[in-house]
Chains A and B, each alone.
Chain A
Amino acid sequence: MSNRLKAVINCGSSSIRMIIGEFTANGAPQVIDQAIHYLPMGKDVFTTGMISNKTMARAMEILKLYRELLKGYGIEPSQVQAVGTAAVREALNRENFVDRMEIRTGFPIRIIDGLEENRLSYMAVLYALEKEVGLLSRGNTLIMEVSGGSTEVIVLKKGIIGAVHSLSFGAIRFQELYRQKKGYVEVKSHELEQSLSSLHDLIHEDCRHGSVNRVFLLGNYARIAAEMVGKGVSARLLEVEHRRWNALAEELYLMPPEDIVNRYGIAAAAADGMGTALLAYRYLLKDIDCESILVPRVGISEGILMEARPGVDPEVQSRFWNQVRNSALALGKKYHFDAEHAKLVARLSVELFDQLASEHRMGFRHRLLLEIAALLHDIGTFVKPSAHHKHGQYLVENSELFGLDAHDLKIIGNVVRYHRKSTPQNTHLGFVSLNREDRLVVMKMAALLRVADSLDRSHSQKVTDVKAIIKDEVMELQVFCDQDLDAEKLSLVDKGSFFEDVFGFSIRILQIRKGEKV
């Protein structure tokens, strides 16, 4: 019974927030309790690089209180998903922080990166929309969060991820740098705009083919502002007129936090950075023609809750994987990849992956990573065809893909790296820096990708399906094709050897023409 309860703690730049969610019989999550304490972790980290002892002690007190609150629901700290975002991530003493919190309070804190935050923001929006998710497939949607330490942006076109951006601009971070540099805190709006101008331009470029139909703003700042001047659309969503939002930004950005506290009755720690954040939002939304702004009353904690649903809600799950795929396709397109080839290789890779499941024993997430690697395996050609596997690795690891974090990108980059030419060597830093488990995963995925890639060596999509049958140390690949497959067969001899090294099977290809019996 109690496994239907799930608690999530988010140690953010300006607050530690906990939610307790319950999954209803159909698996839909519902937050039944929450707690928030404001804590200036970001302020510490963005000025000194470290979380101070005082802040750490306070964090510990807060977590102990949360532990007590959880006890009232019969939840143990070890069952809680606790994450740390920008401030913890960037703290020089983050290991120390994580360790101390776990030892003293029992909560294991996992540090997540900007891209994962991005994904969780998207999930949070899905949580907020409840049954209205269909809304996203109409027109364009902009999802944005300016927090204490970072800014995340997602552009959805007809519900499909068009672009994602994660920028280390944050309200607290900006203020603190500003204070250090200038010695005063009054943020000049044009200077703030300068540091956001490239993101502003990117967003506008992403949206250039049509207006933005709806804007979602997430995070504490947006939520508190929306509670001040907005109205509830549903229990999970607030709406604010764009005009009203801008007016509030004007009003607050030069207002000392104390005045914000007094006038609006919000927590002092929550007011810190408020003006700057609102100003950032105002600027980023400046040329966006959208009458109202939607603000979920939720944050990435709800995103984590969405992901933790028991059983898979096939619709939301496939919607999510599609978003990752679309994001990869958008990246491929940017580098002028051969879309037909890429898509076929991806499909064949996945077919092989599924048919050889008992041999490689990799899970669903790796299947997705393989698919993405297959989609992107040739993008390095954009730089230069020779050594394009190495360029491809570089491009992948330095891109932003929705739903994937830096670690995922590293794995994909390595798979791209080893889809041709040299196999992994001890001298390849990008490979040896992976842990053993990931190295194995990379090798298995690269081996599968090599075979799939060979099957479309001529880039003409002659092979459309493949069936792998394993008999006594030999993998027979049955391919269905009426055309000549010489190039593919030749390529397999070359690329198949790595597969043999990894899986221990030699490959035999069996071409089946129409009308032939298997």
Chain B
Amino acid sequence: MSKQPSMFLNRELSWIEFNRRVLNEAARPDLPLLERLKFLAITASNFDEFFMVRVAGLRRAFRSGDLPYGPTRERPSEQLSEILRRYGDFVADQYRIHDEILTKLRQRGIRILGRDELSVGQRARLEQFFEEELFNVLAPIRVEPKRPFPFTAGLRLNLAFLLKGETLSAPAPSPQAVGEPEAAAAQESPLLAILEIPSYLGRFYELPAAEGAHDFIRIEDVILLFAERLFSGYHILEHLSFRLTRDADIPVDEEKEEDFVEAMNKILRNRRHSRRVRLELGARGASQLKELLCTELQIDPKVVFDCPGPLSLRDYFGLATQNFDRDLSVEPWEPVLTLPDEQNIWQTIRERDVLLFPPYHSFSPVVRLLKEAAEDPNVLSIRMTLYRTGGDSPIVEALIRAAETGKQVLVLVELKARFDEEQNLGWAQTLERVGCIVVYGVANLKVHAKALLIVRREEDGIRRYVHLGTGNYHVKTSRLYTDLGILSTKNEYTYEVAQFFNAIMGYSTVQHSHYIIMAPHHLKKKLLSLFEWLTNEAKAGVPARVRAKMNALADEDIIRAIYRAAEAGVVIDLNVRGICMLNPGHVPRAQIRVISIVDRLLEHARIFSFAAGEREELYLASADWMYRNLERRVELMFRVIQDEHREQVKHILDVLFADNTQAYVLKPGGRWERLTPQGNKAVRAQLVFHTEAEEWRKLQAERQEEGLTPRRRPST
């Protein structure tokens, strides 16, 4: 008798599989080299977070008893060993691809030079750079035996040196020298010194090169060239680059902490000293140093990784986004401005709802709406949530301006947005200083919902403008993440968005709603009831189908509901970018299909369609179907109500599910298989959306030439 395939796939392994799909892009010979380099950097950056959060969490769970947990009921130790095994393979592949890309870049005249490849002129330039700029900012620290290891921040590139005192001369130690070397001791056993490379120096230093060529050198190599000057009186026996990763998750005790802002500050201070979860070591040799460093750092050898190349591959981001030859990068996709600047934005939104699909469509109308609101004397108040928002964000600027011009500005700032806490705290306090009412999140829940409400006094009364979206109010990521948003003045939205803000700002307890469903109070219940509805319809013989797109599917209850629905005959089509714990093989004969799209833009929109017979309910959401989104966060799911928008969203789903070039399909057991057109017409969803946006742009331009500017809705 064959065993039924397991109900759930392991979450962490599914995540690694996602990163595999990203790495596959980096390995594609048909892609421009810098695009490949970008994907490589993404995988590295993803794994940094993975160690800081997931591996750190598993290690904590392991230390506190190694009890099986999560839907798969696996022990942390089992999960960890499988993760580390796969990570080892992953790293090997990363560097194989890295070397290949770099070799090919070299053939195209873009070289990252080794220390022994420099021309005389280049070397002279570096010496000047070292003497004038580096020498004074580099501060090596000596590691004393039997004393605590000096503080080393997470994710920073460091150099370790093994030093031996020179016996022949005894010059005075330089100011940067390793403490106060006691000459006698120094001469006997070698000394360990470490040097953190300040991140503001950048990773790659551009060198003078021949016409049309670009030469770079890594910052650590610049330092190594002249490192002996930092340790005068010593001789460098060995050197080694290393990089530590620390546990990022230190929970705030929200019950106890009275002043959340203060508590957050404390965490940020503590995080710098949190547990070490990974040690990456640079290439080749330095065997003494490696041993010494591991001993001094007291780190579990299982999480020490020897890297066959330069550390911190994510630093290639900077290089990948430079403009070299055109064909080294992908052709840029300019977002289409579907709400032209010369149109009165208030009037336009008043006349019709606007569906935005960044980055195919420009996100700038949202920014413009805020900017105009700030200056408009008829605007009474602005409410908005901010989760991740860039530092010098025009959005924050507009809010400041609005407060200065006397509007009531209420902002919910989510300080707990991971890795952005420090930045968020800074401008949140700025907002407060200029008179905005700032609410620092909601106790025990992370506010992940993205909503904006502007109250404006108009001729015929009060009118409210809302924006609801699946992505953050972040100008930069709005060009890289695909998201959907709605601008509207419709009562169905405005009333309930006002209710939502009342709830999160403390004006009111949470109320029932119909168009805007809020987590954690109602969202999961609503999803489950939608599944139940379809299950019942399917049992009654009505054709029923779910089409859902999200970043991750990891909620146990939802997955069970999907299985129940599938068993009853509901057709399940899922488009899951990242983690998927649903195992499509679990229910025999069920029609469950899971695909995942990895392409140049990060798939980020959450779109859910529930259909039975003639009826189809369509939703957009800020939430993934994960426990943390549905139960531990404030999220919004909102209904698409306008017919034209419904058609557009359905079209978007059609295209997303038709992708057969950038999509993978999930096989029973958790393996992903890349789709190919196989004789069908090749469909690349992101290219389809881009082309459609371009066609719309052309159409607009033609109309303008004809002297007509009909306000057509963009077809997506």
Task: Name A residues whose Cβ lies closer than 8 Å to a Cβ of B.
Answer: 1-2, 4-5, 22, 24-25, 31-38, 65-66, 68-69, 71-74, 227, 232, 265, 267, 270
Contacts and interface: CB of A to CB of B under 8 A. Distances in A.
A33 B380 contact: no
Given A36-B511, A66-B507, A1 B459 contact: yes
Contacts of A2: 457, 462
A22 B380 contact: no
B502 A74 contact: no
Given A68-B437, A71-B408, A34 B508 contact: yes
A65 to B, nearest CB: 5
Given A32-B495, A33-B502, A35-B507, A74 B380 contact: yes
B462 A5 contact: yes
19 contacts: A1-B457, A1-B459, A25-B460, A31-B495, A32-B462, A33-B498, A33-B502, A34-B502, A34-B508, A34-B511, A35-B507, A35-B508, A37-B508, A72-B380, A72-B410, A72-B455, A73-B381, A265-B525, A270-B509
A74 to B, nearest CB: 5
Contacts of B235: none
A25 B381 CA distance: 23
A5 B380 CA distance: 13
B381 A65 contact: no
Most chain B CB inside 10 Å of its own CB: which residue of A4, A71, A72, A74: A72
A69 B498 CA distance: 10
Nearest to A1: B457
Interface string B351-383: 000000000000000000000000000001101
Nearest to B495: A32
A35 B507 CA distance: 6
A1 B463 CA distance: 12
B461 A22 contact: yes
Nearest to B508: A35
Given A4-B461, A72-B410, A73-B381, A65 B495 contact: no
A155 B322 CA distance: 78
Interface in B481-528: 491, 494-495, 498-499, 502, 505-512, 514, 521-522, 525
Given A24-B461, A68-B437, A36 B508 contact: yes
Nearest to A25: B460
Contact of B494 (A4, A32, A68, A72): A32
A69 B501 CA distance: 10
A36 B508 CA distance: 5
Contacts of A31: 495
B508 A73 contact: no
B461 A36 contact: no
A33 B495 contact: yes
A227 B455 contact: no
B509 A38 contact: yes
Q: Closest 5 A-B residue pairs measured CB to CB?
A: A72-B381, A35-B508, A35-B507, A33-B498, A267-B509
Given A1-B457, A265-B522, A36 B380 contact: no
Contact of B408 (A25, A72, A267): A72
Contacts of A37: 508-509
Contact of B506 (A22, A32, A34, A65): A65
Contact of A34 (B410, B459, B462, B499): B499
B494 A227 contact: no
Contacts of A74: 380, 457
Most chain A CB inside 10 Å of its own CB: which residue of B507, B514, B525: B507
Contacts of B498: 32-33
Most chain A CB inside 10 Å of its own CB: which residue of B437, B494, B506, B514: B506
Interface in B115-164: none
A22 B456 CA distance: 13
Contacts of A73: 380-381, 455, 462
B533 to A, nearest CB: 13
Contacts of B514: 232
Nearest to A270: B509
Contacts of B380: 72-74
A299 to B, nearest CB: 13
A433 B512 CA distance: 47
A24 B460 CA distance: 8
B151 to A, nearest CB: 44
Contacts of B383: 72
B437 A1 contact: no
Contacts of A35: 502, 507-508
B509 A36 contact: yes
A265 B631 CA distance: 13
A65 B505 CA distance: 9
A486 B437 CA distance: 78
Contacts of B459: 1
Contacts of B510: 267
Nearest to B509: A267
B261 to A, nearest CB: 20
A25 B458 CA distance: 13
Contacts of B494: 32
B463 to A, nearest CB: 10
Contacts of B458: 1
A215 to B, nearest CB: 21
A72 B373 CA distance: 13
Contacts of A66: 507
A333 to B, nearest CB: 43
A25 B462 CA distance: 12
Contacts of B455: 72-73
Contacts of B506: 65
Contacts of A68: 408, 437, 507
Given A32-B491, A36-B509, A38-B509, 9 more contacts: A2-B462, A4-B462, A25-B460, A31-B495, A34-B502, A36-B508, A36-B511, A71-B408, A72-B380
Contacts of B507: 35, 65-66, 68-69
A2 B461 CA distance: 7
A127 to B, nearest CB: 15
A270 B457 CA distance: 34
A454 B509 CA distance: 60
B437 A22 contact: no
A148 to B, nearest CB: 16
Contacts of B508: 34-37
B462 to A, nearest CB: 6
Contacts of B461: 1, 4-5, 22, 24
Nearest to B382: A72
A111 B457 CA distance: 32
B24 to A, nearest CB: 43
